[in-house]
Structure 1
Amino acid sequence: MDANPQHNNPLNQKKDKIPLSQKLEEEVEKNLNNENFGVELLAQALGMSRSGLHRNLQKHTGQSISQFIREYRLKRGLEYLKNGEFTVSEVAYKVGFNSPSYFTSCFTDYFGYAPSAVKYRQENVLLDNGSSISHSKANPSKHRIRIIASSVVLISLLLISYVLWPVFNKTAVDAKESPDQGMTQNPEAYDLYLKGEHLRRIYTPSSLDESIEYFNKAIALDSSFALAYAGIAQTLISKACIFDASLHPLESFKQVRPLLEKAEDLEPGMIQVHILKGFIHVFGDWDFEKAEEEYQKAIVTNYPEALGVYIDLLNFVQKHELALEMSNRLNRNHPHYPNSRMILTLCFLGEYEKAEEFASERLKIFNNYFTLDNSGFLYLNTGQYAKAISLFQQAIDMEGIRYPRMLGWMGAAYAKLGDTEKVMALLQELKDKKDEGFSGSYAFFVAVIYASLGDTASALEWLEISYQHHDMEIPWLLTEPQFLPLHNEPAFQELVRKVGFSNPKYSS
């Protein structure tokens, strides 16, 4: 006979049969708006140790505890947003996020579109459904024909999928959307890593510094956390780019290489390592062939940043058709990735109407640096100079950063408009920044403005300075539209050769 009479109680047996995931959801729901409710409190509520709960959850769902809590909160956030009663900020706090921007970042990563896009997506669905209904009432016979045709197509697709599913399934496995590599079994370390990733993707000087702090804290909890080492490496590279420009590119790459070696030792074949190695080959070594080798290893997945940097390389070497193919792949798998390369690629191909259509839709959803930058570039190169200046100014005002890239393109737009006073002011600002010792491709964009003014000699002089300074923007040399009038100049052709475009497949 069982010594514990409670053991045979049918009510207890029924309770024991409740799936672990359901128990977890019930506890998270009870504490949904409590931002301090995390791993420790959840384990206490279930009467389990943290390690025991982590092992059980990994066994049943393959998730960490913090990941489970976060995803539940995000799903509940989506429900609130669909109801339309609360703003994004209000929803963020209602589902336990202490920062609307962090909620937005996590939401976008998980669902593939921003919280602000939920209403827009719903309206489009309703509009589509409404259009279909009104059309069917006006043309009932055509509607019946469409239903029959749709049924035939559906049956055909089901038969095809039955036969070809093993092939499709293998493709899905071989082309995962995000690499599950270099992970940690420590939920606290993983949560710190996610906060670091969120801050890294804001791309401001302060957020980049903070992101490194979080990555280091994650490593302090788990020194074998390969992703965190790669996170620091990626942040240091960002600090050499236009978003911060506090590190010279070559100094950045010098600091990054040992971090990549450490990450690769811990997790051989890691996608992020291939991405960053390829990036260094492009911007540090100007070795486009080696860069392509690394990027090819990274795009076996549909990891968005792998596809993004590969698209950049393809545009650098003027393989714009292939860049469009990759841009479509990026957009198909991550339709609201904040740094889509679609606008730039369509612009390079001369598909301006399609580029404007895409830019218009993106600006409704994302009012971020990337969308404003790319859209401004499009309008600059389609003669819509005032509109381009407005978008560049929005980005500068939004972040409070005088991005050299935007200053250069604004200068080009003012040059086209004949506003000499503003052109000269921007030229002087860029020259002063370069003399202060900042990185950030200031010389490159001085050359952009001079080229827009038709001052070929000054443009070539400043391009040579940019080359000597190893500006990060140099790989855009062949693709930058303002330099097209320079392409037949012997000095420009010599610079193209020195940078590494001398291989016939990489030269114009």
Structure 2
Amino acid sequence: MIIPNSTASSGELFKSKKVRLISFVALFFVLAGSIFLSIYLFQNPPLRKQKSIAVLPFKNLSENEENRYFADGVVEDILDRLTKIGELKVVSRTSVEQFRESKESAPEIGKKLGVNYLLEGSVQRHEGKVRITIQLIDAKNDRHILSEKIDRDMQDIFLMESEIAKLIADKLQAAISPEEKQMIEKVHTHNSAAYDYYLMGRYYWNNRSLESINKSQEFFEKAIKADSTYALAYAGLADAYYSQTRFSETPVEGYNKAVNLANKALKLDANLPEGYIILGVVYSNGYWQWVESRKYFEKAMNLDSNNVVTLHYYSDLLSNIGEFEASRKYIDRAIEIAPYSAINRILSAYFYYQEQKAEEALQEVLILEELLGDQADHQGELFVCYLYAGDTVSALQMMKKYFETSPDYSEFKAYANQILPVYNAYGLSGLYKMMYKNPPGYWYAVNMDSLNTAMNFLDEAYKNRSPRLAHMLLDRQYEKLHDNPRFMEIVEKTHLTPYYSLRYKK
């Protein structure tokens, strides 16, 4: 039997110690690496939460207070570039406007807007130079994760805006495709004066009154005069002409001008979603060419699927042609991007009403009332929306408040306390007859059972190509006219017959 040597040589002992030393060093580096990684991840946690962001109104630090339009325009352009990034959910400008002077904390604002990140900043312009300061905030933890100060010449404003968009995407680890990168870096004009006029035009257009829309038209025209190749300015002017039709009894001229200008814009830039949006709206609401309208909206959606205006109007078109499921999908998307937009909530409540979903319509109206508060100029809309939801009592309460507070209805203030008694005795028809000797419009004529008068209003709306005509024909509250041959003739002349049949299963 062989007995192993119980004593090791000095060489073997040296090898053993060397192995232990190497093992110790390796273990040290593993532990040190783990500690370093833990500290790094604590300070720079991976962004696993949804990449959702709201851009708050930037402060105007320019000496001239009137430069607010410039700061607002910069924000709108940064927003537009961010919406081109598919991995980001970006809340619209209209929803963040209410936080312009807000004292609420970042977590509170983030929760209300449904986003994880906020971008705040300031703009200062002086003697051809621009400084934009930004802070990207983790809204939940109220922690700044990016702070930058960018100085450029005014002529490089577009480079600044695209640089900011890319900085945010990089910080939020949002991948940018080559196509998205091209859209983000797009420069619409190299003429700083034209850009300035364009921003002023958008500033006035966003106020939405007839006076402000007319003012916006002046500035869009100045932008085009400064740069005749500025496609976005042509689209802005087209938008102004279409918006004016809402206040006109003879809108056809406005439709035609809007279409011509939109086509000019697209001739200069075939990838401009704003041009296709205008064409989609006019071909739907003005020309009643539903198939063509859809093609234009689909082009706009392919170029920018996060554009709230496209989502709003496209959902309305789909509702008109009876595609309720698709319509709901797009209006819900519009509300997700612009949760504080009253106009989208109103349209959503209308859609639920058309689908005979009273409970869902009521929930939408309750949100809408919370958004609008006591704003007298919206109480009439709330009244109609409560009727959509089948909540007549709340509708009448809103009518009473409207009569008591709205300057537009001051002549009916004396009727405020008679609303409920008259309704209980004679219904809605009795209410309207108390208010008017003759129906002042189509809606009132139908509800006052003056159906021949209602048809006269409808004939006039068809003759003048009213942008509201499709709703006047398809709205369920006008079903009592459906057996009238004159009514069905207009349905046919507006090319709505197949969609009307789909909606009413006739």
Q: TM-score range by the shorter chain?
A: 0.5 to 0.7
- Output the amino acid matched with 2:219: Y
* Aligned residue number for residue 420 of structure 2: none
Name 2:262's counterpart in structure 1. Answer: 260
- The CA distance in 2 between the partners of 1:467 and 1:290, in whole Å, is 20
Structure 1 position 386 matched with structure 2 position 389: no
Q: Which residue of 1 aligns with 2:310?
A: 306
Which residue is equivalent to 2:223?
Answer: 218
> How far does residue 295 in structure 1 lie from its aligned partner after superposition?
0.9
Is the CA contact 2:320–2:499 (under 8 Å) kept in the aligned structure 1?
Answer: no
Evaluate the alpha carbon distance shift between residue 317 and residue 470 of structure 1 in structure 2; reply closer, same or farther with a 3 A threshold.
Answer: same
The equivalent residue for 2:353 is: 347
Task: Say which SS state the counterpart of residue 224 (structure 1) adopts.
Answer: coil
Matched, 1:364 2:370: yes
The correspondence for 1:424, drawn from 415, 418, 436, is: 436
Residue 206 of structure 1: how far off its partner (Å) = 1.1
**Where do 1:93-132 residues align within 5 Å?**
109=93, 112=96, 114-115=98-99, 119=104
The residue aligned with 2:334 is: 330
Structure 1 262/357 Cα, relative in aligned 2: closer, same or farther at 3 Å? same
Specify which of 369, 372, 376 is matched with residue 383 of structure 2: 376
Instruction: Give the equivalent residue in structure 2 for 1:499.
Output: 494
Displacement of 1:169 in angstroms is 4.9
Distance 1:38 1:484, change over 3 A: closer
The unaligned stretches of length 5 or more in structure 2 are 1-57, 80-90, 113-173, 411-422
Q: Are residues 463 and 370 of structure 1, via their aligned partners in 2, closer, same or farther at CA, if it must alter by over 3 Å?
A: same
Map Cα deviations across residues 317-344 of structure 1 (whole Å, 9 max, x no partner).
2322221111111112232345313222
Describe the shift of the 1:419–1:36 C-alpha distance in structure 2 as closer, same or farther (beyond 3 A).
closer
- The answer to whether the Cα contact below 8 Å between 2:350 and 2:385 also exists between their aligned partners in 1 is yes
Q: Quick check: 1:182–1:227 contact (8 Å CA) kept in 2?
A: no
Name which of structure 1's ranges 229-238 and 192-201 shifts more when overlaid on structure 2: 192-201
Q: Deviations over 1:409-444 (max 9, x none)?
A: xxxx997062355442572xx4xxxxxxxxxxxxxx
Summarize the Cα distance change of 1:325–1:173 in structure 2 as closer, same or farther, 3 Å threshold.
farther
In the superposition, relative to structure 1, how do residues 421 and 332 fare at CA in structure 2: closer, same or farther (>3 Å)?
Answer: closer
SS in 2 for 1:419: helix
Q: Which has the higher strand share?
A: 2
Q: Secondary structure at the match of 2:263?
A: helix
Q: Is the 8 A contact 1:295 1:310 kept in 2?
A: yes
1:394-405 counterparts in 2 under 5 A?
Answer: 397=407
| CA shift digits 1:190-230 (9 cap, x unpaired) | 23322211221222121111111121222232222111111
Following TM superposition, by how much is the alpha carbon of 1:460 offset from its aligned partner in structure 2, in angstroms? 2.7
In structure 2, what is the Cα distance between the partners aligned to 1:322 and 1:261? 28
Q: 1:399 to 1:313 in 2, by over 3 A?
A: farther
CA contact (8 A) 2:251 2:464 kept: no
The answer as to whether partners of 2:287 and 2:465 remain within 8 angstroms in 1 is no
Question: Counterpart of 1:248 in 2: which secondary structure?
Answer: coil
Instruction: Return closer, same or farther for 1:33/1:355 CA change in 2, 3 Å cut-off.
Output: farther
Give the 3-state SS of the residue equivalent to 2:238 in structure 1: helix
Residues 213-258 of structure 1 deviation map (CA, whole Å, 9 limit, x = unaligned): 12122223222211111111111111111xx22x622111222233
Find the aligned partners of 1:292 and 1:126 in 2 and give their Cα distance. 35
How far apart, CA to CA, are the structure 1 residues paired with 2:233 and 2:227? 9
Q: Which residue of 1 aligns with 2:253?
A: 251
What secondary structure is seen at the aligned counterpart in 2 of 1:297? helix
Q: Which moved more, 1:200-209 or 1:350-359?
A: 350-359
Instruction: Write out per-residue CA displacement over residues 259-296 of structure 1, whole angstroms, 9 at most, x where no aligned residue.
Output: 12221121113211111111221122211111111111
Cα deviation, 1:110-165, whole Å, max 9, x if unaligned, reads: 874522795499558899xxxxxxxxxxxxxxxxxxxxxxxxxxxxxxxxxxxxxx
Mark the structure with the bigger radius of gyration.
2
1:461–1:338 distance in 2 versus 1, CA, 3 Å: closer
1:378 Cα deviation (Å)? 1.2
Contact preservation (8 Å) 1:181, 1:267: no
Q: Hey, what's the Cα distance between the residues in 1 that align with 2:469 and 2:222?
A: 35
> What's 1:35 paired with?
64
**What's the counterpart of residue 83 of structure 1?**
none
Given the alignment, which residue of 291, 295, 298 partners 1:296?
A: 298
**Preserved contact between residue 113 and residue 337 of structure 1 (Cα < 8 Å):** no
SS in 2 for 1:268: coil
Q: Which residue number in structure 2 is paired with residue 50 of structure 1?
A: none
1:35 CA displacement: 3.0
SS in 1 for 2:436: helix
CA contact (8 A) 1:275 1:306 kept: yes
Q: Counterpart in 2 of 1:279? A: 281
Q: C-alpha distance in 2, partners of 1:421/1:462?
A: 18
Quick one: which amino acid aligns to residue 356 of structure 2?
G
The answer to whether the Cα contact below 8 Å between 1:467 and 1:474 also exists between their aligned partners in 2 is: yes
| CA–CA distance in structure 1, aligned partners of residues 433 and 499 of structure 2 | 42
Say whether 1:488 aligns with 2:483.
yes
* Structure 1 pair 71–480 and aligned structure 2 pair: CA distance change class (3 A): closer
Q: Percent identity?
A: 19
The CA deviation string for residues 28-58 of structure 1, in whole angstroms up to 9 with x for no partner, is 99x936336979xxxxxxxxxxxxxxxxxxx
Q: Does 1:183 align with 2:192?
A: no
Does the residue aligned with 1:223 lie in a helix, a strand or coil? coil
What SS class does the counterpart of residue 240 from structure 1 fall into? helix
Letter in 2 for 1:488: D
C-alpha deviations, 1:340-380, integer Å up to 9, x for none? 13222223223333333333334434467996565332113
Q: Contact 1:318/1:479 (CA < 8 Å) preserved in 2?
A: no
| Higher normalized helix content (fraction of residues) | 1
Instruction: Tell which deviates more after alignment, 491-500 or 285-294.
Output: 491-500
In structure 1, C-alpha distance between the alignment counterparts of 2:61 and 2:489, rounded to whole Å: 62
Whether the 8 Å CA contact 2:262–2:276 is kept in 1: the answer is no
1:204 aligns with: 209
Query: Is 2:199 the counterpart of 1:194?
Result: yes
Residue of structure 2 in register with 1:136 after alignment: none
Structure 1 contact 179–271 (Cα < 8 Å) conserved = no
Gaps of 5+ in 1: 1-27, 40-65, 76-106, 128-167, 401-412, 431-445
Amino acid at match of 2:477: Q
